[in-house]
Structure 1
Amino acid sequence: MTADPPTVHDWAGGRPAFERWLGRFYDLVEDDDLLSPVFGGRVSHQHRRDVVTWWCEVMGGPADYTAALGGYENMLRHHLGLAITAEQRLRFVTLLSRAADDAALPADPEFRAALMGYAEWGSRLAMHNSDEAAPVVAHAPVPRWGWGVAPPYRPER
């Protein structure tokens, strides 16, 4: 009998892997003419740290964003009024994928499907919430993302 699969967070390599990945991502963002203005040209160390904490919680790690950083409501607040375009959203997801390669995150298709599945879902929600005219859900828990339909492949030992 096979044990339950690890969380996506643990499969990735925990917080150090998310720091490596999102650090590389924000380096790419700072050099990107389309996305850099959304972040004021530079992405602060605090922003990077907080987003790592968010992603770790979402992917099954400690609930530190909820406990210390204001949970969903705080993340929502950061996106309100940004007017994110469809082109910016797509570039955001594309750079996340490129950064995952650059940071040598696990390359198995199940992991990447889970990671990028959340990136697609979350970026579409952020784009919606960034529209000043859009109705938003003001209170919700931080999402907890899992493997979906394809848990990690682990050959029987």
Structure 2
Amino acid sequence: MSLFEYAGGAPAFQALAAALHERCLADPVLNHPFSHPGQHPQHVERLGWYLAEVFGGPPAYSQAAGTHFGMLDLHARQGADDDLGERFVRCFVLACDDAGLPADPAFRAALRDYMTWAAADVMQYSPPGSQVPADVRMPRWTWEGAVDRTRRR
């Protein structure tokens, strides 16, 4: 069973995205990137699609919203605070509770491990002038971790 299925499918990841967004808006450092006026009107829904796809769900994000490269490039070159990634992971872990995701320790560890990796992935392109490689692929995460973190198109 995939992490997507175990979580409760698309509704669970939409609830997680909404809870994560709320947590980030309440954080004094994360508030700015999550409340800027140019944010896509479907940001929360797209975040849910993205997370669902990563954890074994359908490719809704890739088909309707873009690529992993596009997501990374959108967040690149922001000169983010050094602790932004850690703050985001903390908000994510708490949002899992807020969204009512299963509390199974192995499930939660897999989610946390992904988000720790993902935050580091985003943060590596934060310095001004950073370039995201055009051939990065959408990550896939299972109970055992990344399917292949180095995989390119």
- Number of residue-to-residue matches in the alignment: 144
Higher alpha-carbon Rg: 1
What residue is the counterpart of 2:27 in the other structure? 32
What residue is the counterpart of 1:75 in the other structure? 71
CA–CA separation in structure 1 for the residues paired with 2:105 and 2:128: 36
Q: CA deviation at 1:105?
A: 0.5
CA–CA separation in structure 2 for the residues paired with 1:47 and 1:82: 18
Report which structure shows greater RCO (CA 8 Å, sep ≥6).
Answer: 1
Name stretches of at least 5 consecutive residues in structure 2 with no aligned partner. 146-153
What residue is the counterpart of 1:119 in the other structure? 115
- Residue 57 of structure 1 aligns to a residue whose secondary structure is helix
What residue is the counterpart of 2:81 in the other structure? 85
Tell me which of 5, 12, 24 is aligned to 1:17: 12
TM-score, normalisation: structure 1: 0.84
CA–CA separation in structure 2 for the residues paired with 1:27 and 1:89: 16
What residue is the counterpart of 1:103 in the other structure? 99
CA contact (8 A) 1:22 1:48 kept: yes
- Residue 78 of structure 1 aligns to a residue whose secondary structure is helix
The letter of the residue matching 2:79 is A
Tell me which of 135, 142, 147 is aligned to 1:146: 142
Q: CA deviation at 1:45?
A: 4.7
CA–CA separation in structure 2 for the residues paired with 1:96 and 1:44: 20
Q: CA deviation at 1:141?
A: 1.6
Which deviations, in whole Å up to 9, do the C-alpha atoms of 1:80-132 show, x marking residues without a partner? 11222231111110010011112211111110011111100000010012222
CA–CA separation in structure 2 for the residues paired with 1:139 and 1:132: 20
CA contact (8 A) 2:4 2:10 kept: yes
What residue is the counterpart of 1:152 in the other structure? none
The letter of the residue matching 1:93 is V
Name stretches of at least 5 consecutive residues in structure 1 with no aligned partner. 1-5, 150-157
Q: CA deviation at 1:41?
A: 5.3
TM-score, normalisation: structure 2: 0.86
Q: CA deviation at 1:135?
A: 4.8
